[in-house]
Structure 1
Amino acid sequence: MISVLFFALSLAQPRQSRGLPEEHLQAPREAGSSKGPLYLGTGISLAWRSSPGFRCETRQTEENPTVPDSRSHRGPHPEDAELFAPTEWEKLRQATYDLSWLLTRGYVNPSALTLVGNRYRLTARQRLAVERSACGDRELIARRARRLDPSAVKGCRILIDGYNVLTTVEAALGKGVLLLARDSTYRDMASMHGHYRKVAETVPALELIGKTLEQLEVPEAVWFLDRPVSNSGRLQALIKSVAESHGWVWEVELVNSPDPILMEASEPVATADSVVLDYCGNWLNLGRLTVERFIPEASVIDLACPPDPFPDQGNHP
């Protein structure tokens, strides 16, 4: 039995460590500063990530992607009430902790996730939740070091990872499952498959995001949307319309992939995309801030997997 376990771990073990270099573990850059390194980690090609249609966090689902999307709400999956019932939380937390432990020691997905998922007999959707919530210790430290206190963005222009932030707030309004991940972000379980559909929560979500930026005294924001995702043009027009009706100074850009733009940006970035967080400069936890301020009834499952070896010293999300 022990030999089988070590064999499984050996399959997940990479040839080289995937940890961040020491120079990346730095204090937050001053909002708007362009100083500081951009880490291009092992096995990551920025040129590949900037190719048309690439997204760092691929939205996955157990649904048949060929079936037309007729949803009118960004609500929970039909099986979520069972898969994410309170009786499942401790198992999911422990699985997130175990996966984070493996990632810290250089093991990689999907092998590490398969090992953990099999141990706890997780379904595909539960495994996705664990994967989205886990991260290694070095990534955790680096992300926290560059996370901005909400007061730090006063007077700054913010760059927003459009679909990433919007779908999280939509899911919160639609009573969909939100995950409190180890890095303090909220991540949703929504699935896009290269197609975005406006739902009943879209306009209210945009308005709440705008109100949050107003409270933070952010004078200007630039939204980045994936051009290859269908209906991005319609969403662009909708965002501009909402901004105009409230007097908000928002730009909306359609680009092949927002990720390399956000990773290289000198201005604060609003996202919960794990790969972008590993390579960007300072970032704002905008999705979580919006949900906590305006949607207290949101269905949030804490998978932050204590014990935390690096307690968060700040009191901001």
Structure 2
Amino acid sequence: MNNRNRGKNTGDDNLFGSEKQISKLKLAVQDMQYLLTRGYAEKASSELVGNRYRLKTRQIQVLRGASASDIQIHNRKLKQLNVPDLKDKTIYLDGFNVLILLESLLSDAYIFEGADGCFRDLSGVHGTYKRVNQTLKAIELVAGFFQKNLVQKLVWVFDQPVSNSGRIKQIILDFALENKLNWEAELQYNPDKFLAESSEIIISSDAWILDHCKEWFNLIGYLIQEEKLSVNLIKTR
């Protein structure tokens, strides 16, 4: 696979490109939500539902990312902020989560809207982050959001154990300096825990962080709408 892009995997069109596959995925997400709402474990539920609909590995990955219990969806919605809430505030941004998702979106990879209204993709860091053709455009989109909504400060948080995290941190800081943006970037050994325990507003689509943080904002949803981005979007609800 070409590392200069973060596009589709070979075979993704077969798994997600037809109405038949999307319908199957929607039914699977409904079943998964039913089981999670009744307290079944995620792993057991996804195996059961995956077998029922004969889902492939990447489809099960989407199923897990898109599904949540009724109470999780309810609680996430309660903590979700709107654009006017962001003015003059400090925001902590889940660096790799947001950057890779935007890179995937800009590369025409499939993006999935989950039961909680959050957007997720199928890419991962896997221990090393590689800059791609869409990295700068992704950062520029975040900058546009930052300036347009008069956010006071934005802190990018990256996983220290990921290879090249120091390099992307420097790219962010250099970009902020050039464009006179009040941005910071930091490396954390456990960014999920750090973000979840922060008293600031969080930007992430990581389910565990959304369940544990105080307040959050759906940046990807905002950008898709505000910037009228062309998205290879699959709604799973």
TM (norm. structure 2) is 0.97
Task: Tell me, in whole angstroms, the C-alpha distance in 1 between the residues paired with 2:28 and 2:105.
Answer: 24
The answer (yes or no) to whether the contact 1:158–1:220 under 8 Å persists in 2 is yes
* Other-structure match for 2:205: 272
CA shift, 1:247, in A, is 1.2
Q: For residues 130-171 of structure 1, what are the alpha-carbon distances to aligned partners after superposition, in whole Å with 9 as ceiling and x for unaligned? A: 110000000000000000011111110100010111111111
Unpaired segments ≥5 residues, structure 1: 1-68, 305-317
Residue 162 of structure 2 corresponds to residue 194 of structure 1: no
Task: Tell me, in whole angstroms, the C-alpha distance in 2 between the residues paired with 1:286 and 1:169.
Answer: 10
Q: How many residues align?
A: 236
* Other-structure match for 1:85: 17
1:175 to 92, 96, 108: 108
CA shift, 1:85, in A, is 1.1
Residue 188 of structure 2 corresponds to residue 258 of structure 1: no
* Other-structure match for 1:24: none
Residue 104 of structure 2 corresponds to residue 104 of structure 1: no
* Aligned residue type for 1:279: H
CA shift, 1:70, in A, is 4.9
* Other-structure match for 1:40: none
Give matches, 1:227-266, under 5 Å: 227-266=160-199
The answer (yes or no) to whether the contact 1:267–1:282 under 8 Å persists in 2 is yes
CA shift, 1:261, in A, is 1.2
Residue 5 of structure 2 corresponds to residue 73 of structure 1: yes
The answer (yes or no) to whether the contact 1:240–1:252 under 8 Å persists in 2 is yes
Q: For residues 39-89 of structure 1, what are the alpha-carbon distances to aligned partners after superposition, in whole Å with 9 as ceiling and x for unaligned? A: xxxxxxxxxxxxxxxxxxxxxxxxxxxxxx751011111111111013211
1:110 match: secondary structure: helix
CA shift, 1:214, in A, is 1.4
2:154 to 201, 216, 221: 221
Unpaired segments ≥5 residues, structure 2: none
Q: CA RMSD in A?
A: 1.1
The answer (yes or no) to whether the contact 1:168–1:187 under 8 Å persists in 2 is yes
Task: Tell me, in whole angstroms, the C-alpha distance in 2 between the residues paired with 1:248 and 1:139.
Answer: 35
* Other-structure match for 1:158: 91
- Identity across aligned pairs (percent)? 33
Higher fraction of helix: 2
The answer (yes or no) to whether the contact 2:173–2:185 under 8 Å persists in 1 is yes
Q: For residues 202-251 of structure 1, what are the alpha-carbon distances to aligned partners after superposition, in whole Å with 9 as ceiling and x for unaligned? A: 01100101101212211210010000000001100111111122211110
Task: Tell me, in whole angstroms, the C-alpha distance in 2 between the residues paired with 1:191 and 1:260.
Answer: 18
